[in-house]
A and B are shown apart, each in its own frame.
Chain A
Amino acid sequence: MTGKPPVRRVRVTHQRTEAVTRLPVRPPIREIDEQTRLGEVYMTSLVRSQRRLAIVVCALTTLLTGGIALLGALSPRFSHTRVLGMDAPWLVLGVLVYPALIGLAAYAVRHAERNEHDFTHLVHRR
């Protein structure tokens, strides 16, 4: 605990009439519905974020499968390693690759839903 003086209270006031502040605010959702330029910007932002996610997931899938394929093709040590009584390549491509795919799928679902959730918040804001 430091010996600083307590923060001073500040009074925040608001004139309880909406007449003054009520600018013609249109919810963004109407911009989309009415196909204005602004609405298009909103939609483009959603499509862009989802497209980025799709590209990331596809890139990770390529990295995973391509990596295993190249490892098998280029590394004789990998091909001759034995783990848990199985040849390492069989363990990787027959078993371990599947949990990795499930993990990627879960990642894709979670992030796609988050993107949509964020977008919903954005356009419902007033």
Chain B
Amino acid sequence: MSDTAYAVGAVTVVAVTTMAVGAFGLRRASRTSDFYVASRAVSPRWNAAAIGGEYLSAASFLGIAGLVLAYGYDVLWYPVGYTAGYLVLLAVVAAPLRRSGAYTLPDFAEIRLRSPAVRRAASLLVVLIGWLYLVPQLQGASLTLRTQTGAPHWLGGFVVCCVVVTAVAGGGMRSITFAQAFQFWLKFTALLVPAVVVLSVWHQRHDSIGDGYPTAQRATTVTTASETKIRVQTAEMLQVSGQLDGRDVDARVSLAAGEHRLGAHTRVALREGDVVPVITSLPDQRNGDWLRPLGSGKDHPLYASLSLILAICLGTMGLPHVLVRFYTNPDGRDARRTTLFVIVLLSSFYLLPTVFGALGRRYVPDLLLTGDTDATVLLLPERMLGGLPGSLLGALVTAGAFAAFLSTASGLTVSVAGVLSQDVVGRGRDAKRAHRIRAFRFSSIVAVGVPYALSLPSARLGLAAVVGLAFAVAASSFCPLLVLGIWWRRLTDVGALAGLITGGVLATAAVLVTVIGGARDGWIGALLEQPAAWAVPLAFGVMVLASVLTPGRVHPDVARVMVRLHAPESLDLALARSAEAAQQPAPVPAPRTTPVRAEVVDRSSR
């Protein structure tokens, strides 16, 4: 009971703090541009922490450790990809994108190609990717609250929705910038402290993971939430109360090796040393394989690894909530420096989930039976320490997890709501300011409401895996648009549209088949589950081919746009400035931040 109290307390503190910071920002947010991009006056370090805060989602905080527990070495590619994605973003798009002066991806499409059709396609994709990314955040929140307090499964997501709408509709992005930076450090601490503690406990115990099947480290009782198919690796005697293979049982029964069916709310008591049966949706490999490369138990693991790396590396630049943050940098150079800081912060953070996942294999293997491996981070400290220290650390990781859901969800909500209010709800940029702000607030409710509804019937695929699918869609649609738009003059609106549609539709179809139909076996399953390796080259190819076939549609002003994208601001080119003024797609032209700008000019024109 006291554990529940700690967890509820932790969630309350995080939620109230987020809303309070939002309310504080409300008083300061006076212009429409404040709502969207914090007037572009945030220093690289703050901005980097804010990006990190926004980026480290449920997938990073809970999902990676859960995947490591279940699949082992191969999923270490997730955190590496999440970090390497920023390296690609830094090298390829960071500075030009900031210099384009666009607020959102659709804005970029319009500035570069001057095509309302491409803009609409981009808006649609932003909403799609945003929702795909929001669903696992809300599911993660529900899982966390259920695991830590026994709350009903809809509550966690609902709490997140309420807090996010309050904070976002209230303060817009300026407040979010400070809240995000704060939440990065909260998340980092919330994983670092327990990680250090559990590692030192592990060292004192001289424990090891071993090469055999995962076994219960101490007596544990597991209760299934719904009907569960499990695989028993070696024949063994287990205490089962409830339904087993369609019969009611309440005794120690002997389970033959092979598949069995447990009814809903069935309790399985594991004693120390019992081999843990594994839900059939997860692999049941021995620890010896689990530790090795390509031992994840999936079909075609090398293809899956490579395609995943590609999706994450190229998809990062197409995430709507990440890109909007880059506009808060004063100039292109700061955008690059910010990205470097982001990579440093992420590199430190991503050392930690692996620790939880690896130790989880030893101390919370019973999660393999229910398939709730995403709860690894939440349960490990309590399981290893017990008593008051365990409860306190459990509360700390709960707080961190909620920070993760809130920050990512609010960032995505700002982006999706921004697009919805500008391109769907709002009546273009001529509408009155008050009307636009009202449209933005209304859109923010829609932006979280829809994914909340989608998150309720939970077809569970693992938080990090669903997020990986969002990356795949972003990589096969926005990545070609950004890369070709920035570096290739001959991109045309027809080409961009064809590429966006090809990549977006194919990747989305593959994703939907996987999410709705579940994972399949063989090459078809591998190709559908990791579509990036074929969808990205295809989208690039179509975009290039269609552009080459329509040379007449290259915009006559492309040279001017190129100057604006690539010329350093310190040159203070009249051309770049006039291009920006002429094309400002934002509802209210954002004021250039004069102090920072003056300093840049100073330094270069000694």
Contact = CB atoms under 8 A, between A and B. Distances in A.
A66 B84 CA distance: 12
Nearest to A29: B571
B529 to A, nearest CB: 17
A47 interface: yes
Number of contact residues on A: which range applies? 35 or more
Given A90-B291, A105-B90, A43 B347 contact: no
A69 B74 CA distance: 9
Given A43-B563, A105-B87, A123-B571, A61 B313 contact: yes
A19 to B, nearest CB: 27
B294 interface: yes
A54 B91 contact: yes
B333 interface: yes
B84 A43 contact: no
A95 interface: yes
B293 interface: yes
B292 A95 contact: no
Contacts of B575: 32-33, 35
A93 B347 CA distance: 12
Nearest to A56: B91
B291 A87 contact: yes
A89 to B, nearest CB: 5
A72 B294 contact: yes
A41 to B, nearest CB: 11
Interface string B298-324: 000010011001000100000000000
Interface in A53-77: 53-54, 57-58, 61, 65-66, 69, 72-73
Contacts of A99: 347
A97 interface: yes
A79 B293 contact: yes
A116 B333 contact: yes
B55 interface: no
A64 B419 CA distance: 37
B351 A47 contact: no
Interface in B315-369: 333, 336-337, 339-340, 343-344, 347-348, 350-351, 354, 358
A58 B91 contact: yes
A32 B86 CA distance: 31
Interface in B521-573: 559-560, 562-563, 566-568, 570-571, 573
B88 interface: yes
Interface string A15-52: 00000000000000100110100001001001100110
B213 interface: no
A61 B91 CA distance: 10
Interface string B63-86: 000000000010011001101101
A73 B309 contact: no
Contacts of A32: 563, 567, 573, 575
Contact of B573 (A33, A50, A95): A33
A43 B568 CA distance: 11
A106 B92 CA distance: 14
Contacts of A40: 559
B76 A94 contact: yes
Given A69-B302, A72-B293, A97-B80, A46 B90 contact: no
Contacts of B83: 98, 101
Contacts of B563: 32, 43
Given A61-B87, A99-B347, A105 B340 contact: yes
Interface residues of B, number: 51
Contacts of B306: 66, 69
A interface, over-half SS: helix
Contacts of B80: 65, 93, 97-98, 101
A90 B336 contact: no
B604 interface: yes
A73 B313 CA distance: 20
Given A35-B559, A93-B73, A98-B351, A116 B568 contact: yes
A109 B338 CA distance: 10
A72 B291 CA distance: 11
B230 interface: no
B95 interface: yes
Contacts of B350: 98
B69 to A, nearest CB: 14
Contacts of B76: 90, 93-94
Nearest to B333: A113
A90 to B, nearest CB: 7
Interface in B74-117: 76-77, 80-81, 83-84, 86-88, 90-92, 95
Interface in A86-126: 87, 89-90, 93-95, 97-99, 101-102, 104-106, 108-109, 112-113, 116, 119-120, 123-124
Interface string B430-455: 00000000000000000000000000
A119 B568 contact: yes
A43 B87 contact: no
B109 to A, nearest CB: 20
B582 interface: no
A46 B88 contact: no
Given A101-B347, A112-B336, A58 B562 contact: no
A104 B87 CA distance: 8
A29 to B, nearest CB: 6
Contact of A89 (B73, B86, B344, B358): B73
A94 to B, nearest CB: 5
Contacts of B77: 65, 69, 93
Given A32-B575, A33-B574, 7 more contacts: A57-B91, A69-B293, A69-B309, A72-B293, A109-B336, A119-B567, A120-B568
4 tightest CB-CB pairs across the interface, nearest first?
Answer: A72-B293, A98-B347, A57-B91, A116-B568
Interface of A: 29, 32-33, 35, 40, 43, 46-47, 50-51, 53-54, 57-58, 61, 65-66, 69, 72-73, 78-80, 87, 89-90, 93-95, 97-99, 101-102, 104-106, 108-109, 112-113, 116, 119-120, 123-124
20 contacts: A32-B573, A43-B567, A47-B566, A54-B91, A58-B91, A61-B84, A69-B306, A72-B292, A79-B292, A87-B292, A90-B73, A101-B87, A102-B340, A104-B87, A105-B87, A105-B90, A105-B340, A108-B336, A112-B336, A116-B333
